[in-house]
Amino acid sequence: MEIVVNDVSYYVEICGRGDPLLLLHGFTGSSETWKPFIPNWEKHFQMVMVDLLGHGKTACPADVERYNIERVAADLTTLLDQLGMKKAHVLGYSMGGRLALTLAVKHPTYVQTLILESSSPGLKTEEGRAMRRMQDEQLASFIEQHGIEAFVERWENIPLFASHKKLPKAVREHLRHERLKNKVVGLANSLRGMGTGTQPSWWNHLTNLTMPTLLICGEEDEKFCRIAEEMVQLLPNGVIAHAKRAGHTIHLEQPEFFVKIVNEFIFKGGTSCGN
């Protein structure tokens, strides 16, 4: 369904029953990311699968400022309000995890539990953010100059996704198809307006987050495991789970572990780390 939120049309799919589970995909993804998990979760949760701004069937505004991560987090609160949901378990992957964390920092009353897969609170220094903005601008320009297909070919071969080569061919093809459905303006503006270099650093806010928080990282994704280990030391109610034989995309590489760890965490009141 399409829901107009703060003058922007968002595409949302809802299924299941129980407590709301808000699912936020990564860069180049869509609500399609979570479809394989419907049989696992629809009996326990009311799954709210959103195409984030600039992705999938959601609008792709021309104004880069509209993609500001705090504005998009505010969109999610309005969306939940319109759906009559006062609180939700919030699960975000990578870029969606940065958005989920932004939601928790800026609007904590909406977040019952927080689950971050391969994500971060942003970059600590302005120097680091400036360098990342430059890199994201170069990538955005590449998308505009060469189109979605050339970009996806480049994107799926970056070192971050090296572990995807071990995935079954059908899974890799489905992921590629999902990425190819995106639009040039949406992905380019998402990089410029909602990239890691443009968002605030939330590192100093982690000690204020009181909701149960689960950090999931793949053991082959050393960078994001280091980030998670540092984060969990700062979170008052944080736990961490390491997925064996997985890189950045645990939900694709170890889906059974992923479902198990999320279910245990939520059903046990945010106390399980399930390693």
The CATH number assigned to the domain holding 213 equals 3.40.50.1820
Give the tokens for residue 212: 């149960």
If you average pLDDT over residues 197-203, what whole number do you get? 97
pTM: 0.96
Cβ(163)–Cβ(37) below 8 Å: no
Q: What pLDDT digit, counting tens, does each position of 17-67 carry? A: 999 999 999 999 999 999 999 999 999 999 999 999 999 999 999 999 999
pLDDT category of residue 78 using cuts at 50, 70 and 90: very high
pLDDT at residue 148 greater than cutoff 70: yes
- Per-residue burial over 141-171, b = 16 or more CB atoms within 10 Å of its CB, e = otherwise: ebbeeeebeebbeebbeeebbebbeebeeeb
Question: Strands 111-117 and 45-50, how do they pair?
Answer: unpaired
Expressed as residue numbers, the domain containing 124 is: 2-267
pLDDT for 269 equals 73
pLDDT at residue 275 greater than cutoff 70: no
- CA dist 262 and 24 (Å) reads 14
pLDDT at residue 217 greater than cutoff 80: yes
Above pLDDT 90, what percent of the chain?
97
Above pLDDT 70, what percent of the chain?
98
pLDDT at residue 271 greater than cutoff 70: no
Give the tokens for residue 36: 């394989």
Flag whether 130 is in a domain. yes
Give the tokens for residue 42: 């629809």
Higher model confidence: residue 273 or residue 248? 248
pLDDT at residue 200 greater than cutoff 90: yes
Residue type, 73: A
- Separation of CA 72 from chain center: 12
Flag whether 214 is in a domain. yes
Number of domains in the chain: 1
pLDDT category of residue 123 using cuts at 50, 70 and 90: very high
If you average pLDDT over residues 214-223, what whole number do you get? 98
pLDDT at residue 118 greater than cutoff 90: yes
Flag whether 275 is in a domain. no
Flag whether 274 is in a domain. no
Q: Cα dist. 247→59, 144, 165 in Å?
A: 31, 29, 11
pLDDT for 109 equals 98
Q: Which strands form 111-117's sheet, in the order they lie side by side?
A: 2-5, 8-16, 45-50, 19-24, 88-93, 111-117, 213-218, 238-243
Flag whether 170 is in a domain. yes
Flag whether 201 is in a domain. yes
- CA dist 55 and 28 (Å) reads 7
Flag whether 272 is in a domain. no
Residue type, 225: C
Flag whether 237 is in a domain. yes
Mean pLDDT in the chain?
96
